[in-house]
Amino acid sequence: MAGCDFANARLGARRAWLLGARGLRELVARPDLPTRLEFLRKAGYAEGVPPAATPGDLLASVEAALWEMPRRDALRALRDIEGARPRLLLRAFLLFQDAATLKALFRGLARSEPAERLLSLVEPSPGFPKPTLRALAARPGPASAAAMLERQGSPFAGAAVEAVPGLGRTGGALRLESAIDREAFVLALAAARGGGEDARVLRRVLAVRADLVNARTLLCLGGAGAPAEFFVPGGTRLGAARLASLARLPPSALREALSEWVGPAAALASPFRADELLARVLGRVARAEARCRPLSLAVALSFLLDRQAEVRRIRLVLRGAEFGLAPDELLDLLET
């Protein structure tokens, strides 16, 4: 645990600059984009808000800078944590940031999104900084991107190369995402083997994450294939048998079953709101671990999850101003 002391102290200082629910409500209350950006500059997000005189598309510049903040926080935490073992465990946790980035990238490539548009939709992560993402986004399609990952020695290369040929079939995109998720879990669980409080914290967080990945699969499945094809092991609520049982339910009954531990069934009908609710479950678990074990790796895991979630919500508020969403509509989305 001593290896986390310095990092936890620095993360505690950075946590004080998160907006939190109250700050997000204050941000929504600002009437337009310029006043919202000014609020962010004064509220601890100055590094994520370029000066108003920035040439070109100001909102695009802000979004790009905000995207970089969780990645920089993760790299700072890796630098500040002392000791090979805690650093290995944090790297294992960060594989899921990389997995999320890669899944978004392949979704865009499968839709033939232009490279610049795709870059605006994909969050840089510790293993996929902007130059790497730019090179991947410029590939002519998913197969070419998978081949590039293989040349680079990415830990996700095998999963991508194997799953990409099936993208054109029913459920192909979900199979690819499940393959990437499984690879992240295999590597992270291998790193978390053994004793020590930090390893136990990571295993508990991974178990919840596996359940949430399987819950999302159920919400997206829609007859795309047998549940076993998409199953990610390691959870405690959704084993393979339970997953298969829930997959046989009609959508409304499935949402009711998941609502017992994820969130309101009505919100689960919306993909955006469902993803938000799933992320909040994981954030709550990590925060509880950090409160109970304030000298452990849980502090870093909790902060990094909260930073990612807050940046997503800030981007929603800023885009909401552009799209003309009323404050009450934004609050409804933020407080799902």
User: Residues 90, 78: contact at Cβ < 8 Å?
Assistant: yes
User: Residues 139, 109: contact at Cβ < 8 Å?
Assistant: yes
Q: What pLDDT sits at residue 57?
A: 78
Q: What pLDDT sits at residue 50?
A: 75
Residue 270 resides in a domain: no
User: Residues 24, 306: contact at Cβ < 8 Å?
Assistant: no
Q: Which domain holds residue 157?
A: 82-177
Residue whose structure tokens are 């959508």: 251
Q: What pLDDT sits at residue 94?
A: 98
User: Residues 106, 145: contact at Cβ < 8 Å?
Assistant: yes
User: Residues 292, 299: contact at Cβ < 8 Å?
Assistant: no
Residue 132 resides in a domain: yes
pTM of the model: 0.93
- Please tell me what DSSP assigns to residue 169: S
Alpha helical stretches, state H, the chain? 5-15, 20-29, 33-42, 58-80, 84-110, 115-121, 130-137, 142-152, 157-163, 172-191, 197-221, 240-247, 251-259, 265-268, 271-292, 298-323, 327-334
Residue 279 resides in a domain: no
Q: What's the domain count of the chain?
A: 1
Of the candidates 232, 230, 313, 305, which has an alpha carbon nearest to the alpha carbon of residue 272? 313
Residue 142 resides in a domain: yes
- Mean pLDDT over all residues of the chain? 92
Residue 21 to residues 18, 153, 172, 286, 331, Cα–Cα distance (Å): 9, 40, 37, 17, 10
pLDDT digits (tens, 9 = 90+) for 94-117: 999 999 999 999 999 999 999 999
Residue 66 resides in a domain: no
User: Residues 296, 289: contact at Cβ < 8 Å?
Assistant: yes
Burial class (CB in 10 A: 0-12, 13-18, 19+), 317: buried
Residue 117 resides in a domain: yes
Distance (Å, rounded) from C-alpha 171 to C-alpha 226? 10
One digit per residue, the tens of pLDDT, for the chain of length 336 reads 457 888 999 999 999 999 999 999 999 999 888 899 999 999 989 888 877 655 567 888 888 899 999 999 999 999 999 999 999 999 999 999 999 999 999 999 999 999 999 998 899 999 999 999 999 999 999 999 999 999 999 999 999 999 999 998 888 999 999 999 999 999 999 999 999 999 999 999 999 999 999 999 999 998 788 899 999 989 999 999 999 999 999 999 999 999 999 999 999 999 888 999 999 999 999 999 999 999 999 999 999 999 999 999 999 898 876 666 777 777 777 775
Distance (Å, rounded) from C-alpha 246 to C-alpha 155? 31
pLDDT digits (tens, 9 = 90+) for 17-57: 999 999 999 999 998 888 999 999 999 898 888 776 555 67
Cβ neighbours of residue 51 under 8 Å, at least 6 residues apart? none
**What's the CATH code of the domain at 166?**
1.20.1690
Residue 94 resides in a domain: yes
Residue 251 resides in a domain: no
Cβ neighbours of residue 317 under 8 Å, at least 6 residues apart? 24, 27, 28, 36, 330, 334
